[in-house]
Structure 1
């Protein structure tokens, strides 16, 4: 869904956004949003799970699995934890996005929590309900809640969630460090500023078949406007502020949503801690002289991978849904005029809109370097 945002907000497709969605529950908002300010995290999980069960527009016969993968969760280590991290997902995504990283970090002794941003977990139309304060307050509340239980608080975020946790960390001295996966600081789209205005004229930017139980495929204009507000907030802060504590940033050179080079520049200027690391998936950036930056090739022909996508960094190859042999493949990947191969062994993988004309590319949804990413996390957090 997000990879289409730049395209669908462009002038050429502006009028196409007027199309009415089909009369399905996915495109009709719920009556309300769940509370997120419970005094105990287990009560928050309980209440949110019940709300998802009542309001979700289910996509499969396995309703319990859909509820589970969209519900906030906690991973506790075997021993009492001194360190904790709060993860925040991206636009249209779910808490489950952090399940692989969370399991590994809990095994390393961390108390790990992953929350649900208001408007997610049920149906795309529910992104019409929250405002920017709901997202910022949810992050602040759960950062404070976790911070009261551990001696050292870290925050982590994917895409839009990266914007939210970074903005919070720049104003919260209790945050000891950040883990940012494809943070959405700098969108590769000059039309995003139109999203708030469009939200008053039309309800939908993108309407698609909903077939993914952990990610919305359709996007209300209100959701695009909320992402823009997160961008505006974090960019304003990063113009003047510096985050002097450790940070890990990982990003694909071929990210179809964001401007990776702008993020790389910001890392070198605004995140000066020498323990920080930037993991760059792609060709080694020219004139690179910062030893904190590691480049890993994203062209892996022996694995039928041409490029890395916006989303794949978070998922282990063994992941049962998005992994190398997972149950869900994102075939709709922005390629026109190239037939889908009948032989699955001829299918290649890459970023959205991969343009190799002789090959059909599905979306890459797992990270071949996942274990290396965990090592980078341990290095930045001081666990190595």
Structure 2
């Protein structure tokens, strides 16, 4: 029996998944029979958003990591610990809760330093592992934005049963998710946002939802650089960037629709961010985050013409004595003594948008300066800045913000 096959055509469903509509023509007794078959690549089953407790969610996440993670080191238990959802409890009864959401390609390890700091201030602190993360980058191909929203909704509801009030915090894409949820849910007490990704520096990011059905990767893996480390992805499928764009669009849409957000918000960001348009972040802070206790902690020079404000603290980001040329998108999250990202980092980011000779020099152990991605300076080799030399001072500012009424000056 002869059979003809038509090429599968990619389409996009309303849930945002990549699917394939396969048309198979089979010749039988009749001239031909057209069959429509929906096809979809197999993907891991992520922990149910309907977990009854945070402990159950942790257990499900750990099982997921054990069975699906592509391990990068011989120490599997350490990698699982880096990537699984974490909890830090204060001494005594919590005065509130803090639910922290990591960024695109990252993991709960992003909050490994700030988590215990917030717990010491009396908060029950928990981190999430967004579906598609912690295992291997290609697992982001089959994730939808709704998967992320459902997880945040469920774990926020669980935390609200245990503490008087809940704050949300997030880094980059996670800050977008936290902002959208908080604007929609007035029971959220406020926000702490690290490098919120309200607007991307690359103005072509809006194309990624359109490219996603036809192109799995914007930068196809070719073996020239690692795909992931023990704590984060180094490359992300097109669907991941499409989700990133959609979170930024949703956060901005919610803020525009609301007109302003009246709860206290603290934003910590850097002037020289290769990923984000931080001038937009500054404008959004001034326009939408109107609570008198809201604060913007800004590393680097403010744009020309921005007047001084008691709500904005500016810190210089060029620190030659520490060989720091500028701050980076991710560096604000980690203490100088962080074992992976600190001054004596085991996870040095030599892939930093430099020439091949500089990359090789960094990998060979040559003395480096630190910057955000893409920064170059003659006769200097730059690795990514992955720690915050103002860590203790930043924590004091966060403490002052949470106390609501204590000035930053």
**Normalized against structure 2, the TM-score is what?**
0.84
Confirm or deny that 1:301 pairs with 2:314: no
Confirm or deny that 1:322 pairs with 2:303: no
Computed over aligned residues only, the root mean square deviation of the Cα atoms, in angstroms, reads 1.6
Alignment of 1:271-350 (within 5 A): 271-286=289-304, 287-336=306-355, 338-339=357-358, 340-341=360-361, 344=365, 346-350=367-371
Residues 27-69 of structure 1: CA deviation (Å, up to 9, x unaligned): x974322223201100110111011101101111000011110
Q: Secondary structure at the match of 2:179?
A: helix
In structure 1, stretches of 5+ residues that fail to align are 1-27
For 2:244, the equivalent position in structure 1 comes to: 227
Distance (whole Å) between structure 1 residues aligned to residue 228 and residue 69 of structure 2: 13
Distance (whole Å) between structure 2 residues aligned to residue 355 and residue 347 of structure 1: 12
Q: Secondary structure at the match of 1:272?
A: coil
The number of residue pairs the alignment matches comes to: 357
In structure 2, stretches of 5+ residues that fail to align are 1-40
Q: Is the 8 A contact 1:338 1:359 kept in 2?
A: no
Residues 56-89 of structure 1: CA deviation (Å, up to 9, x unaligned): 0111100001111000011011211121100000
Measured after TM superposition, the shift of residue 249 of structure 1 is: 0.3
Distance (whole Å) between structure 2 residues aligned to residue 265 and residue 377 of structure 1: 21
Moved over 6 A (4+): none
- Which protein shows a greater Rg? 2
Alignment of 1:68-83 (within 5 A): 68-83=81-96
Measured after TM superposition, the shift of residue 341 of structure 1 is: 3.8
For 1:14, the equivalent position in structure 2 comes to: none
Distance (whole Å) between structure 2 residues aligned to residue 79 and residue 263 of structure 1: 37
Residues 227-285 of structure 1: CA deviation (Å, up to 9, x unaligned): 11111111111223211111110111000000011100110110011111101110144
Distance (whole Å) between structure 1 residues aligned to residue 119 and residue 144 of structure 2: 32
Distance (whole Å) between structure 1 residues aligned to residue 367 and residue 57 of structure 2: 45
Alignment of 1:26-65 (within 5 A): 30-65=43-78
For 2:229, the equivalent position in structure 1 comes to: 212
For 1:141, the equivalent position in structure 2 comes to: 154
Q: Is the 8 A contact 1:32 1:129 kept in 2?
A: no
Confirm or deny that 1:269 pairs with 2:287: yes
Q: Is the 8 A contact 2:184 2:254 kept in 1?
A: no
Measured after TM superposition, the shift of residue 358 of structure 1 is: 2.1
Distance (whole Å) between structure 2 residues aligned to residue 325 and residue 227 of structure 1: 31
Distance (whole Å) between structure 2 residues aligned to residue 335 and residue 357 of structure 1: 11
Corresponding residue to 2:114 among 90, 94, 101: 101
For 1:188, the equivalent position in structure 2 comes to: 201
Q: Is the 8 A contact 1:75 1:103 kept in 2?
A: yes
For 1:380, the equivalent position in structure 2 comes to: 401
Residues 122-154 of structure 1: CA deviation (Å, up to 9, x unaligned): 000110121010111111111111112111210
Distance (whole Å) between structure 2 residues aligned to residue 30 and residue 240 of structure 1: 36
Corresponding residue to 1:355 among 361, 366, 376: 376
Confirm or deny that 1:239 pairs with 2:256: yes
